[in-house]
A and B are shown apart, each in its own frame.
Chain A
């Protein structure tokens, strides 16, 4: 009897025959090696030149090192406009980009639930590779774990990213001044509504598509145009409102937004009216808020609108004298009113 056949009598599946990940794939033996060498590494071949390095030795950098990490637990794993793989690369590299760095290297950790379909894993890995290629970064190290059924929701991904800080450095939200202008780089609320629709099976046509995209070209465009940027932030969880709230707390001024100037697609508008949500609170994955010095909002918009990811950039507000409320919004009657802060993730409501 050949070795392969012997191991087939073992209760653990020894091959990928049933098309699913088993606990054995994470236990460090041959199955794990095969998962790596037959599935994961080939999928990432051109963006992971070092192969399965446990630890990466990285090149010296000319500037300061910027380092970030983020975990991705999106449900569902696939949604219109993206999936967890694309998100895991885009999200972390966007964090580097808005911190003023050029993203260079990424780690990729997969936590896979037992029983996860291999074809789905392949799809996710393809998305990882596509996104990394597009941004021009390499995946330099990684890890794979398999956890028992029920201990994860299909697949969790953690990525950590390293980048190099670019000059000139931007001052940051603590340095905002009264009069500075607030720009948003695109239509808001698309990612949050797309994921909610996919998760709650709330069927609408056409389905809003996640804006999940790299912001690196948008940040580059601002640099090239030498716009006096004060602060940048991707408006992910909590949406634009969360960014404004955080900045206002840091700078001590009040951030004021005109609702009518904030770009929203007709799909997101309709969805938000139906479900009673405010687009300002809904998550984005390819849209950022940019604060620039007074008088440079127009220049920022002009520079941004030349790159596809920020084609719909618009000036949406301004840093104003401190009021009682940190963030205020003008909703039509002409008066600035406090922008409310949502309790948690938006839930569809009747009332």
Chain B
């Protein structure tokens, strides 16, 4: 459920509490998204957008922390190059 994609807030267009809209960039395109649920988002922040509505601000520090944690996992791992059928 709930296809939601992070995009970068490029520009606030309207800061109305109900109808607030900002331009949000996803890959190579920008689209106007409703910002009523993330009124505190600043330009440059990433927001997670579901069905045209930003529902959360991405916490960049948390993201960096988690990626750092990942990098600290053991480097050399056994990797089985199995194909789909072989596991049947």
Binding site for B on A (CB under 8 A): 202-208, 265-271, 273-274, 276, 323-325, 328, 334-338, 349-351
Question: Could you list 16 examples of A-B contacts with CB < 8 Å?
Answer: A202-B31, A205-B30, A206-B28, A206-B29, A208-B29, A266-B27, A266-B28, A267-B29, A270-B29, A323-B85, A324-B85, A334-B79, A334-B81, A336-B83, A349-B3, A350-B2
Cβ of B82 within 8 Å of any chain A Cβ, yes or no, is: yes
Q: How large is the interface on B (under 10, 10 to 19, 20 to 34, 35 or more residues)?
A: 20 to 34
Is A350 touching B31 in the complex (CB atoms < 8 A)? no
Cβ of B1 within 8 Å of any chain A Cβ, yes or no, is: yes
Contacting residue for B83 out of A207, A208, A323, A349, CB 8 A? A323
Is B1 touching A351 in the complex (CB atoms < 8 A)? yes
Residues of B within 8 A of A205 (CB): 23, 29-31
Cβ of B18 within 8 Å of any chain A Cβ, yes or no, is: no
Given A323-B83, A324-B84, verify A276-B3 contact (CB < 8 Å): yes
Give bound CA distance, A204 to B2, whole Å: 21
Secondary structure type dominating chain A contacts: loop
Residues of A within 8 A of B32 (CB): 203
Residues of A within 8 A of B26 (CB): 270-271, 273-274
Give bound CA distance, A334 to B3, whole Å: 24
Is B29 touching A350 in the complex (CB atoms < 8 A)? no
Contact flags B25-66 to A (C-beta < 8 A → 1, else 0):
111111110000000000000000111000000000000000
Nearest Cβ in chain B — how far from A341, in angstroms?
16
Nearest Cβ in chain A — how far from B78, in angstroms?
13
Given A267-B29, A273-B26, A274-B26, verify A351-B84 contact (CB < 8 Å): no
Top 9 nearest A-B pairs by Cβ distance? Answer: A266-B28, A270-B27, A270-B26, A267-B28, A270-B29, A204-B29, A269-B27, A276-B3, A204-B31
Contact flags B2-33 to A (C-beta < 8 A → 1, else 0):
11010000000000000000010111111110
Given A205-B30, A205-B31, A267-B28, verify A274-B1 contact (CB < 8 Å): no
Residues of B within 8 A of A349 (CB): 3
Contacting residue for B27 out of A207, A267, A351, CB 8 A? A267
Nearest Cβ in chain A — how far from B52, in angstroms?
9
Residue of chain B at shortest CB distance from A207? B29
Give bound CA distance, A328 to B84, whole Å: 9
Given A204-B31, A205-B30, A270-B27, verify A350-B50 contact (CB < 8 Å): yes
